[in-house]
Amino acid sequence: MKEHVIDLPKKIVIGKGVINNIPNYLRELEVGDRVLMITGPNVFNIVGKSVIEMLQDSKFEVSFKIVNNAHINTINSVIEEFKNERIDVIIGLGGGKSIDTAKYVSYILNIPFISIPTAASHDGVASPFASIKGLGKPTSVKTRVPLAIIADSKIIAKAPYRLLASGVGDVIAKFTAVLDWRLAHKLKNEYYGEYAASLALLSAKHVLCYANIIRRGDEKAARIVMEALISSSIAMCIAGSTRPGSGSEHLFSHALDLIAPKPALHGEQCAVGTIMMAYLHGKNWRKIRKTLKHIGTPTTAKELGIPDYYIIKALTIAHKIRPERYTILGESGLTWEAAENLARRTGVID
Ligand SMILES: [Zn+2]
C-alpha cells in the first residue's frame, strides 16, 4: 500500500495580544503541566519572563533554557540536561534559532513542541523543517510538526522591520519553488501535489496583493506576513517535503551561506534568488522585483551587502547543494558567463 501521511498542527492562533492566553491554549491542548521553554537572551527579557510568570500563575511547572544559536552542540547540551527530566511540552519562543533548537530537541526527545514566533522572518517558525548548524549540510532537516503555533501580531510588529521584509522574501520564493517542483515532476517524474503547490502559490500571491499594507510594518502587516508564512509551512506539511517552499532560489541562498564572507538574512537572499530564477523560468521577474523593492526587501548584491563575485559564484555552485533536487539550474548548473549575465540582466549586479 502506498500511503501519503499528512501531519498538521492542531492549533494555530494569530492575533493581537494572544500571548496573554498561552496558559489557556496549553490547557485546551491537554499537554500536561511540565513545560520547558527554549528562548534567546533578548526575547527572554522582553517576553519570556512574563510568559513564564503567566504559566506559573496558572500552575504550570516551567523550566527554561536560553540559547544563542541553533548549533548541534548547543542542542546536544540541552538534550543532555533535560533528557531525564519529566517534560510534557517544549515551547520555542523567539525568532529562528530558538524555534529551530526547540523543534530539534522536541524531535529527539519525542515531546510535543509549540512554536511561539516573535518575528516573521522565515517559514521555519511554522514548518517541521529546522536549519541546524554543525550537521555538515546547509539545507534544513525534517523534524516534527509543531503541535501548535501561537503568533502574537503585536509582538511580531515590534521586531525590526528588516525581519518582516526578509519574511516576505521567503514567501515570494514560493513562486519559483513551485515552478521548479513542476519542472522536476515533468522531467524526472517526481511526486507533485497540486493542492500543496496551489497553497504555497497562494501565500506568495497574498504578500504580492498586500504589499501596500506590509510596507507600513504595523500590526496588520505582521499578521499578513505571518499568515503567509504559516500557510506556506502548511503546504510543506501537506507535501511532506520542502518542495513547495524551496527551489533553486533557496539553493542559491544556501550557496551564499556557504561561501559569502558575511551572508545576509535567509529571506533576503531567497528574494534576490527568486528574481533571478524567475528570469530563468521566463516568468515576470520584473513584477517580483518591483514588489520586493516597494516593500524594502533587498533586490541587489549591494543591498545584500555581498560582493558581486560571491553572487556569481553562488549561482554556479547552487545546483550542487542538493543534487537530488532537480530545478531550473539543471544537472550541470550555470557557467560563469551565464551566471554573470543573469545577475546583470536582472539588475542584481551592475
Ligand atoms: Zn526559506
Q: Interior CA angle at 192 toward 140 and 282, to 5°?
A: 85
Are 175 and 71 within one domain? Answer: no
**What's the CA gap between 131 and 98, in Å, rounded?**
11
Dump pLDDT digits (tens) for 192-204: 999 999 999 999 9
Contact at 8 Å (CB) between 56 and 62? yes
Q: What's residue 139's pLDDT?
A: 79
Are 51 and 141 within one domain? Answer: yes
Are 104 and 198 within one domain? Answer: no
Angle between helix 266-280 and helix 336-345 axes, rounded to 10 deg: 100
Average pLDDT over residues 62-87: 95
Are 105 and 171 within one domain? Answer: no
Average pLDDT over residues 229-246: 95
How far is the centre of ligand 1, averaged over its atoms, from the C-alpha of 90 (Å)? 23
The verdict on residue 246 lying in a domain is: yes
Dump pLDDT digits (tens) for 97-109: 999 999 999 999 9
Does the pLDDT at position 331 exceed 80?
Answer: yes
How far is the centre of ligand 1, averaged over its atoms, from the C-alpha of 232 (Å)? 10
Q: What's residue 140's pLDDT?
A: 85
Largest CA distance in the chain: 64
The DSSP letter of residue 349 is -
The verdict on residue 185 lying in a domain is: yes
**DSSP per residue over 197-223, as a string?**
HHHHHHHHHHHHHTHHHHTT-SHHHHH
How far is the centre of ligand 1, averaged over its atoms, from the C-alpha of 68 (Å)? 20
Are 43 and 110 within one domain? Answer: yes
The verdict on residue 3 lying in a domain is: no
How far is the centre of ligand 1, averaged over its atoms, from the C-alpha of 253 (Å)? 9
Are 314 and 172 within one domain? Answer: yes
Are 136 and 175 within one domain? Answer: no
122, 140, 158 - which closes a domain: 158
Please state whether 186 falls in left (phi above 0), alpha (psi between -120 and 50) or beta.
alpha
Q: Which of 123-137, 248-262, 322-336 has the lowest mean pLDDT?
A: 123-137
Q: What's residue 2's pLDDT?
A: 77
The verdict on residue 4 lying in a domain is: no
CA atoms within 13 A on the CB side of 7: 14
The verdict on residue 1 lying in a domain is: no
Q: What's residue 1's pLDDT?
A: 65
The Cβ of residue 143 has, within 10 Å, a number of other Cβ atoms equal to 20
**What's the CA gap between 120 and 214, in Å, rounded?**
12
- Burial profile 65-85: b = 16 or more Cβ within 10 angstroms, e = fewer: bbbebbbeebbeebeeebeee
How far is the centre of ligand 1, averaged over its atoms, from the C-alpha of 123 (Å)? 6
Are 153 and 297 within one domain? Answer: no
Are 139 and 169 within one domain? Answer: no
Instruction: Count structural domains, the chain.
Output: 2
Are 341 and 225 within one domain? Answer: yes
The verdict on residue 198 lying in a domain is: yes
Does the pLDDT at position 138 exceed 80?
Answer: no
How far is the centre of ligand 1, averaged over its atoms, from the C-alpha of 213 (Å)? 22
Q: What's residue 200's pLDDT?
A: 98
Ion ligand 1 — residues with CB < 5 Å: 170
127, 158, 189 - which closes a domain: 158
Dump pLDDT digits (tens) for 158-213: 999 999 999 999 999 999 999 999 999 999 999 999 999 999 999 999 999 999 99
136, 158, 180 - which closes a domain: 158
Average confidence score pLDDT of the chain: 96
What's the domain range around 97? 11-158
Residue 58 pLDDT level (bands cut at 50, 70, 90)? very high
The verdict on residue 206 lying in a domain is: yes
How far is the centre of ligand 1, averaged over its atoms, from the C-alpha of 106 (Å)? 21
The verdict on residue 145 lying in a domain is: yes
**What's the CA gap between 166 and 163, in Å, rounded?**
5
How far is the centre of ligand 1, averaged over its atoms, from the C-alpha of 347 (Å)? 22
